[in-house]
Amino acid sequence: MSRAKAGDPAAVRQFTVAADDDGIRLDRWFKRHMEDVPFATVSRWARTGQLRVDGARATPGDRLTEGQVLRVPPLDAAMSRTGRAAKPRPVLSEDQIAFAESLVIHRDAQALVINKPPGLATQGGTKTHEHVDGLLDALMFERDDRPRLVHRLDKDTSGVLLLARSARAAAHFAKAFSSRSVRKVYWAIVIGVPSIDDGFIDLPLAKQPGTGGEKMHVDEAEGAPARTRYRVIERAGNRAAWVELQPYTGRTHQLRVHMAAIGHPIVGDGKYGGKDAFLSGTISRKMHLHARRLRIDHPDGSPLDVMAEPPRHFAETLADLGFDAAEGDLPLEEKASSRQDERVAAKRAATAHAKDVRKARRGERRGRAAAKSKPAAPKGRPGGPASRPGKPTRPGKPRGPGAGPGKPRRG
């Protein structure tokens, strides 16, 4: 989306349809670029002739073509889904813009990657007014549309956060996350040392009743599947360990719940580890969970592989515990595997085999039914089975040894 005429939001604005929006429906265009404007308002604008494409009246179902000019009525006429006037996004200060730009660690035509600091939420909510979503206006750079969030990090988790710079890139990245082809690597400092250096946690998770969905817990009966691999990088005696975590699923608070469930809560995670999740001395009480690395297929076909440096409190804890930060990046296998994955693959293979067997049986039944429904030709008539070329005639009744050809017919 490129803006042809800018100015007061209360004035008529015009937008040029970009290549990423070629072929999209007009109502979907508003959902992508002007999400505060509800469908009812778009429909009203269309009915009253205020919504126009290349000067002609438009309807919500019209398909847009790259290069067309879309006329949008004044925004003060738009009403939010709650029936109140849509609130314009606040104008960012120079300090906020500078802060947002300082977070960027990768930038190309389709993607931005930022190193999210701990304490900054990804999106707003009740009593949450400072968040990444509110800073996206500062990250448009040479484009006229805001980048889009394609995944989230907890407020107290730091590290790699991917943003899409176009609708096409957002759809591409969303598909990669939903298909679980993305490789995510986290660093964590945990209490104690796991007895197995390279382990796999397979514990289903569900929202904990009575917490309003704000807390998760292990629920073997009704929980959603959740799988995490961990590898111990270094250990500080029996006091703490530096571990690498790779989530194979994307459940809320998955890494935090899983590590607490095996008796090694993440340092600083009082929500799931209680008072036992804190180390004495100079160790920070902030949560020690950092999204270190993200590898994902880029829309242009090449892999996007980005690493983010840990925040100050995490780096200081590594030093205080005697860990060597240079030892943290373990080899990343091309394809992660697990016993659960093997079971899933075996189940899929069995299902496919059973499907093939059923298909073959249906073919056999149809063949038999077709043969039964085909009328048989009368005996002795031309074209019947006895007179078809290449087909043997039915033999007569066997005779005894030396028997002649039978009684001759009368002339």
For the ranges 157-166, 346-355, 358-367, 372-381, the one whose mean pLDDT is highest = 157-166
Distance CA 149, CA 133 (A): 7
Helix or strand holding residue 32 (H, E): helix 26-33
Residue predicted with more confidence, 14 or 368: 14
Residue predicted with more confidence, 338 or 48: 48
Residue 368 belongs to some domain of the structure: no
CA distances from 241 to 95, 238, 268, 286, 312 (A): 38, 8, 14, 16, 18
**CATH code where residue 253 lies:** 3.30.2350.10
> Confidence class of residue 78 from pLDDT cuts 50, 70 and 90?
very low
Q: Which residues carry out catalysis?
A: 154
Q: How many CB atoms lie within 10 A of CB 384?
A: 13
Q: How many CB atoms lie within 10 A of CB 147?
A: 25
52 and 164 assigned to the same domain: no
The per-residue pLDDT for range 42-63, each reduced to its tens digit, is: 888 988 888 999 989 999 889 8
Q: How many CB atoms lie within 10 A of CB 268?
A: 25
192 and 305 assigned to the same domain: yes
Residue 332 has pLDDT above 70, yes or no: yes
Residues 103, 43 contacting (CB under 8 angstroms) = no
Distance CA 276, CA 266 (A): 10
Residue 235 belongs to some domain of the structure: yes
Residue predicted with more confidence, 192 or 79: 192
Distance CA 405, CA 402 (A): 10
The pLDDT value given to residue 2: 45
Residue 346 has pLDDT above 90, yes or no: no
Is 258 in a helix, a strand, or coil? helix
Residues 112, 147 contacting (CB under 8 angstroms) = yes
Q: Say how many domains are in the chain.
A: 2
The pLDDT value given to residue 141: 92
Those residues with Cβ within 8 angstroms of residue 302's Cβ, 6 or more apart along the chain or in another chain: none
**Mean pLDDT of all residues in 82-106:** 82
101 and 162 assigned to the same domain: yes
52 and 141 assigned to the same domain: no
Q: How many CB atoms lie within 10 A of CB 250?
A: 14
Q: What is the DSSP letter of 37?
A: S
The per-residue pLDDT for range 134-167, each reduced to its tens digit, is: 999 999 998 878 899 999 999 999 999 999 998 8
> Confidence class of residue 3 from pLDDT cuts 50, 70 and 90?
very low
Residue 370 belongs to some domain of the structure: no
